[in-house]
Structure 1
Amino acid sequence: MRHVRDFAVTVLALAALGVAAGTLWSYLAPRPPYVVTERGPVLADASTQALIAADGWFAVVTGALGLACGAAGYLLSRRGRPLAVVLGLAAGGLLAGYLTTVVGGALNLGAVSVAAAGRDVPAVAGPLKLTAQGVLVAWPMLAAGAFAVLEGVAAYRDSPLRRPFGGHDPYGPISSYDISGGDR
């Protein structure tokens, strides 16, 4: 039952962070320029970098939070239920990434001044959305990866393999030998 609780708490905490991340992403990411025509909104400048910049800001925001969540999850799970926390980081990271896209697309906090190259028609700020869907996995991958790296470092630090020969040096202290290999 504690495993289920730890999993659920991790997922819910990351979901709440996903809402905050969506707000931050909406504030930081630029909006692509659109022109309203009879057919509806059309991308005003096909060479705009705003679409790529929005994906980049999404990766930065969710990646940084993924690393922070992985480290926090590791520190909080030292009591003995790391599997539930790792699974919660993975599932919660996916949910948080999705919530980041939904909230970031719904809010309009970023810069509203846009420019379209070579257009006389006024451009309007378009919706914020992802064009590279692969960045959705930045949060869960970095969270689980950070957890795994920290767990690996701690396991190696406590491992008997780190100290071969049972922790004893078979050659004795180095000060009793000459550099050339002979005794003093």
Structure 2
Amino acid sequence: MARQVRAFAVTFLVLAALGVAAGLLWSYLAPRAPYMVTPQGTTLADLTTQALIGADGWFAAITGGIGVVCGVVGWLVSRRGTQLAVLAGLAAGGVAAALLTLWVGSAFTLGAVTVEASAVPGAKIVPGSLRLTASGVLVAWAFMATALFGVLEAVAGYRESPLRQPYGVRPEEWDGGSRTL
């Protein structure tokens, strides 16, 4: 039991640490939407901007890509008896890592921040902070990690399965089809 708890905790903590690095990467790569400062507050300067969708896309690409790597590494390092703990760690850690990625990426501004010119003369334009408009991308990390882990485990399980030998006949027992029933 202690081995499973340790496997879960290590997996969870490694993914959480990767979430901080992914947040910094997202902050560096994702575009920021331009906002116009008005007396009423800030408002989106360009209603046709694709920066909001671009930020969601970069978030999904970064977290999904890291999720694929985590799924493969998790499957490779898991031992007999700890696969379920590692899988649970990938699921819970993937959600925690995605939330950390969102928080870190929104809190820090890295990379080049460009702001488009305003259509309103004399208006002050500032770059907005990163945020997600499609909250469904928060599950990309956990989904990709657990899905790939499951696929790899299914392939490995099939290799050991008696279903590989049709009709229960081993290849060395096969006489080329001349067997009569």
What residue number does 2:20 align with? Answer: 19
The equivalent residue for 1:41 is: 42
Give the fraction of aligned pairs with identical amino acids, expressed as a percent.
Answer: 59
Task: Determine the structure 2 residue equivalent to 1:151.
Answer: 153
Please give the alpha-carbon distance, in whole angstroms, between the structure 2 residues aligned to 1:173 and 1:130. Answer: 60
Which of the numbers 126, 134, 137 marks the counterpart of 2:136?
134
Paired residues, number: 176
2:125 matched residue in structure 1: 123
- Kindly name which structure, 1 or 2, has the bigger radius of gyration based on alpha carbons: 1
User: Residue 180 of structure 1 corresponds to which residue in structure 2?
Assistant: none
**Which residue of the other structure, out of 170, 173, 177, is the alignment partner of 2:176?**
173
State the one-letter code of the partner of 1:172: D
Contact 2:71–2:148 (Cα < 8 Å) also in 1: yes
- What is the aligned partner in structure 1 of residue 10 from structure 2? 9
Unaligned runs of 5+ in 2: none
- Preserved contact between residue 23 and residue 104 of structure 1 (Cα < 8 Å): yes
- Give the conservation status (yes or no) of the 8 Å contact 1:14–1:92: yes
Distance 2:117 2:65 in 1: 31
Gaps of 5+ in 1: 178-184
When the two structures are superposed, what TM-score results if normalisation uses the length of structure 1?
0.90
- 1:92 maps to 93
RMSD over aligned CA atoms reads: 1.8
Whole-angstrom CA distance in 1 between matches of 2:162 and 2:138? 39
Equivalent in the alignment of 1:60: 61
Quick check: 1:45–1:116 contact (8 Å CA) kept in 2?
A: no
Moved more, 126-135 or 161-170: 161-170
Moved over 2 A (4+): 116-122, 165-171
How many angstroms apart in 1 are the aligned matches of 2:120 and 2:25? 30
Is the CA contact (8 Å cut-off) linking 2:4 and 2:81 kept in structure 1? no
Report the TM-score, using the length of structure 2 for normalisation. Answer: 0.91
> How far apart are 1:168 and its partner, in Å?
3.0
Matched residue SS, 1:161: helix
